[in-house]
């Protein structure tokens, strides 16, 4: 795990705050005895995982696509080419949502604002190493215009039908 105790505590505050502000319908589905802790989320989300990412285009039409993601220091990162529609959408409107789900157990949903992590960022090499572990090569081999996009979550929910399956 890359997360420090301080980062896990910040993520736990975000999870708690998000659930306290969630609507009654969400709270009826995501009951407290099924919430995942920040430590459980961080432990589970090690390595590259596939998620659905939602953005909006210039006409404010929603766009959702499956992408690779990594949780790094308590924040989600995805990779893309700067010429992609996703990157262009996020440059105009940085709001983004991300959902991990596997047969609804677990479900992790995060929404917030995106920013770009370029090749000269100190975190780029560490993030790229996760792609190398998974795919055997750097994402830089795919494109000279590749970037990571960091989701600075403003809300986050984490749920499991069987939270005991996720070590804390």
Indicate yes or no: pTM above 0.75: yes
Per-residue pLDDT at 105: 86
Which residue shows structure tokens 């190493």? 129
Q: Does CATH number 1.10.3720.10 belong to domain 5-165?
A: no
CA distance linking residue 115 with residue 150, whole number of Å: 5
pLDDT digits (tens, 9 = 90+) for 123-163: 999 999 999 999 999 999 988 899 999 999 999 999 999 99
Per-residue pLDDT at 21: 94
Per-residue pLDDT at 107: 95
DSSP string, 119-137: TTSTTHHHHHHHHHHHHSS
Confidence of residue 104 (pLDDT cuts 50, 70, 90): confident
pLDDT digits (tens, 9 = 90+) for 10-62: 999 999 999 999 999 998 888 889 999 999 999 999 999 999 999 999 899 99
- Tell me the chain's radius of gyration from C-alpha atoms: 16
The dihedral through the CA atoms of 20, 54, 126, 106 has a sign that is: positive
Residue 84 has pLDDT above 80, yes or no: yes
Domain extent listing, the chain: 5-165
If DSSP codes are grouped into helix, strand and coil, which group holds residue 117?
Answer: strand
Residue 1 has pLDDT above 80, yes or no: no
Widest Cα–Cα separation across the chain: 46
């Amino acid at each position: 795990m890359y997360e420090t105790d301080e980062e896990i505590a910040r993520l736990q505050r975000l999870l708690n705050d998000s659930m306290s502000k969630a609507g009654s319908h969400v709270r009826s589905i995501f009951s407290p005895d099924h919430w995942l802790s920040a430590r459980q989320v961080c432990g589970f989300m090690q390595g590259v995982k596939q998620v659905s990412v939602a953005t909006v285009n210039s006409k404010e039409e929603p766009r959702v696509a499956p992408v690779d993601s990594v949780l790094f220091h308590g924040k989600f990162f995805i990779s893309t080419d700067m010429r992609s529609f996703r990157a262009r959408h996020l440059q105009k409107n940085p709001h983004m949502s991300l959902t991990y789900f596997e047969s609804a157990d677990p479900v992790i949903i995060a929404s917030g604002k995106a920013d770009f992590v370029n090749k000269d960022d100190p975190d780029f090499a560490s993030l790229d190493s996760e792609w190398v572990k998974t795919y055997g090569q750097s994402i830089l081999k795919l494109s000279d215009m590749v970037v990571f996009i960091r989701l600075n979550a403003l809300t986050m929910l984490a749920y499991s039908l069987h939270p005991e399956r996720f070590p804390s």
